[in-house]
A and B are shown apart, each in its own frame.
Chain A
Amino acid sequence: MTPFNRNFGQGKRTKAVRPDMNWEEITKAGNVYEPGNANTYETGDWRTIRPVWNKDRCIHCLICWRYCPDASIIATDGKFDSFDYKHCKGCGICANVCPVHAIDMFSEDEMDRQKEAKRNEE
């Protein structure tokens, strides 16, 4: 069994190739036959700051969508829909380009602490 490898995750994230497969089982020449299957690889845990959408302020100009390096702003029918937190790396560009300050950046640690505190209260 191939040891755990961060580049690969647990091997459950792709149907086609798993890390324990032998040379006869994996795809030929390193070809990848599932276009865009990188979206099954999560980069959200790189994030230290988290963008949070302020629905009331948003004017759906989609400048944030245009400038996201990780295609992590989901636009539906030409409107801001949601953040893809599985892939958002927390670069903060969206909050900076937003003309109406409808995106706030919060520390992930701080948010975790708040969540924890809330859970303790309950």
Chain B
Amino acid sequence: MLGYAFRRVLSALPIALIAITIAFFILRLAPGGPFDGERALPPDVLANLRAHYNLDQPIWVQYFIYVKGVLTGDLGPSMVVEDFTVSQLIAIGLPFTLMLGLTAFVSATAIGMLAGVVAAVNQNKWPDYALVLIVMLGVVIPNFLMGGLLQLVFGVYLKWLPAGGWVNGSLPHLVLPVTVLAWPHAARISRLMRGSMIEVLGTNFIRTAKSKGIGERLMLTRHALKPALIPVVSYLGPGLSYLLTGSLVVENIFGLPGIGKYFVTAALNRDYGLVLGTTIFYVALILVLNLLVDLLYAWLDPRVRFR
């Protein structure tokens, strides 16, 4: 298993390099630059800025300067948030993004699985219908709208929870953002779990177990749950990377200090350093998560290990 993991990590390095290279050249080829704002800068000032960030060098020189920096652990400067390097911004925002994403992931996974099992066991009864309705709300309402609605209800009218911010960093500040982030994820997991569980409950080995007079709870936990989890586990990797990389809207709406928002705002501002830095971070994150899911999948389904 270790050898397998090591080979996977090694094979990820060229993928990361290809991603950086593509991102680097696409960014440089895109029209507009980091200093194209509402007002034109005087030529001398613009020349000073371009020299400061090596943008006056040929593009291949810029590329090698950047790759050399990355290999030595330097992701370079941000051209828009000048007081921080890209590495510093990621280091500051990462713990928060991880906390937000993992909290949403754990709660959504637990709630989604539980809801899926309950719906499957009560197929076509009222708990099933009620859960389907709640799940649908999570899927069809976009997160910016959900965020605004929750802020309005719980922040403005009821005043039960903060409508945003992270100054004191208390738990109540996490409730609304985690809800917005986790809801669609929980919805997808519950649908997967429901379908998978219904399928497993209809298989021969479960019928055999039932005919032996085994109790329902034991039958569910000991025999049905593990095989029913396989499609859910397949979704967990992409799901977690979605939660960790897709927190842009949630961080913006709630004014939270994660790195999610940097990716898009940096791209719009043509902040080359920050776009590339976050790209590298996300590529690494997705590769690691895919690896973890593969390992987990192999543990759940012994057949995978021998393929």
Q: Do chains A and B stick together as partners?
A: no
Show the binding face of A for B, using Cβ within 8 Å: none
